[in-house]
Structure 1
Amino acid sequence: MRAPGVASSYPTLAPWQVNLAMRTMGQKLSDSISISDVASMCRLSFCYFVRAFTNTVGIAPYAWFVQQRILSAKALLSETPMPLAQVALECGFSDQAHFTKAFAKASGMTPAKWRRLAKTLEPNGSIGSQTPICNLVNWSGQAHSSPPTMQQAQLDRGQVAQTPFR
């Protein structure tokens, strides 16, 4: 227990600051963003804002911003036939290579592979009847799961999974 008047070593944001920061970053997914500007809008220094945002949300502000871009990209990949380069630009990535690298780091697979697996979904939004589409595109902004592997999709459909010999 800390003494009255002593600042906590784990700063957090007030609810209005969290809402303002997330709303500001969420509205600028296709643009570049300055975390310093967001910190200023919240009336905090850059360093304090980054620490407080991380303590409050559980992820650093720029990492949260990139995560939102990836979620936006997943929605475009699953709902449109848009080329990957265009998806990259729509979601604020400088080019397709940067997009692919960030997407693969966040999802464990490339956007093209993710799209192919997402297309294996049946019209009711599932693979077989096991995986709802909300597992592929998480609209809540929480940690998201990747689509199942091709082998898992085949098993869900009752098909025999074949291991490639390469």
Structure 2
Amino acid sequence: MEKDGTSLAAFSTDASCGPTETAATLIEDVRRGLVRDPAAARAAAVRLVTLLTLSGAAEGTRGGLAPWQKRRVDRHLRRSLHRPLRLEELAEQAALSVSHFARAFKDSFGTTPHSYITGLRLQRAQRLMLTTGEPLSQIALACGLANQAHLSKLFRRWFGETPSAWRRRNLTAQAVTPTTVSSPRTPS
């Protein structure tokens, strides 16, 4: 995933691409961005090219987590986002040593466990911002983040805008047309 631009794409848990955006969603982002924000459209187009390039290269790779391990770890992560997660705990879910798990996780999901967890937490925060009236401080805690400042710092790094600005923009846009939750990008 690229650092620049904001996307309105959802995570895909497809075995070949891990926590990446779907091609159809990225195409929609490009189309929508051409009208609203050409810079965001360009960023979505770059992510689309990256997705298509990486998905072809990943098909011939070996290693990584077995499908049952990947499902089990992902399910555990999604259930436990509200609290601190340790690498040892995740490795235990896959019945692997910590070092082997970290390498296999990156091979399977395309990113480090820390980055993947951060992306899931931000995705949950976005969903809560759109579906509840909770203050950002409560949303941050519900997503396993230390406080509102932590949420704001990560959100700005991944999406290029503050959570309150994103919430305002998307609640306004949602009143006009339904939108999907943005997929976080990996900061560089």
The TM-score normalised by the length of structure 1 is 0.69
Check if 1:72 corresponds to 2:124: yes
Alignment coverage as a number of residue pairs = 125
> What amino acid is aligned across from residue 108 of structure 2 in structure 1?
T
Write the distance in 2 (CA, Å) between the matches of 1:122 and 1:77.
Answer: 12
Structure 1 alignment gaps of length 5 or more:
1-8, 127-131, 146-166
Find the counterpart in structure 1 of residue 179 from structure 2: 133
Find the counterpart in structure 1 of residue 94 from structure 2: 42
Write the distance in 2 (CA, Å) between the matches of 1:48 and 1:10.
Answer: 14
Counterpart mapping for 1:84-123 below 5 A: 84-123=136-175
* 8 Å Cα contact 2:77-2:117 kept in structure 1: yes
Write the distance in 1 (CA, Å) between the matches of 2:165 and 2:76.
Answer: 31
Q: What do residues 131-161 of structure 1 show as CA deviations (whole Å, max 9, x unaligned)?
A: x512xx05xxxx458xxxxxxxxxxxxxxxx
Q: Which structure ranks higher in relative contact order (CA pairs < 8 Å, sequence separation ≥ 6)?
A: 2
Find the counterpart in structure 2 of residue 27 from structure 1: 79
In structure 2, relative to structure 1, the CA distance for the partners of 1:122 and 1:112 (3 Å cut) is closer
- The alpha-carbon deviation at position 123 of structure 1 amounts to 3.3
CA RMSD of aligned residues (A): 1.9
Larger Rg: 1
- The alpha-carbon deviation at position 105 of structure 1 amounts to 1.4
Of Structure 1 and Structure 2, which has the larger fraction of its residues in helix? 2
> What amino acid is aligned across from residue 133 of structure 1 in structure 2?
T
> What amino acid is aligned across from residue 179 of structure 2 in structure 1?
I
Write the distance in 2 (CA, Å) between the matches of 1:53 and 1:88.
Answer: 25
Give the SS at the match of 1:133. coil
* 8 Å Cα contact 1:13-1:53 kept in structure 2: yes
Structure 2 alignment gaps of length 5 or more:
1-60
- The alpha-carbon deviation at position 10 of structure 1 amounts to 6.1
Write the distance in 2 (CA, Å) between the matches of 1:89 and 1:20.
Answer: 24
Write the distance in 2 (CA, Å) between the matches of 1:33 and 1:81.
Answer: 27
In structure 2, relative to structure 1, the CA distance for the partners of 1:52 and 1:123 (3 Å cut) is same
Write the distance in 2 (CA, Å) between the matches of 1:10 and 1:96.
Answer: 40
Q: Between the two proteins, what is the percent identity of the paired residues?
A: 33
Q: What do residues 52-72 of structure 1 show as CA deviations (whole Å, max 9, x unaligned)?
A: 111111111121111111011
* 8 Å Cα contact 2:158-2:184 kept in structure 1: no
Find the counterpart in structure 2 of residue 58 from structure 1: 110
The TM-score normalised by the length of structure 2 is 0.61
- The alpha-carbon deviation at position 98 of structure 1 amounts to 0.8
Find the counterpart in structure 1 of residue 46 from structure 2: none
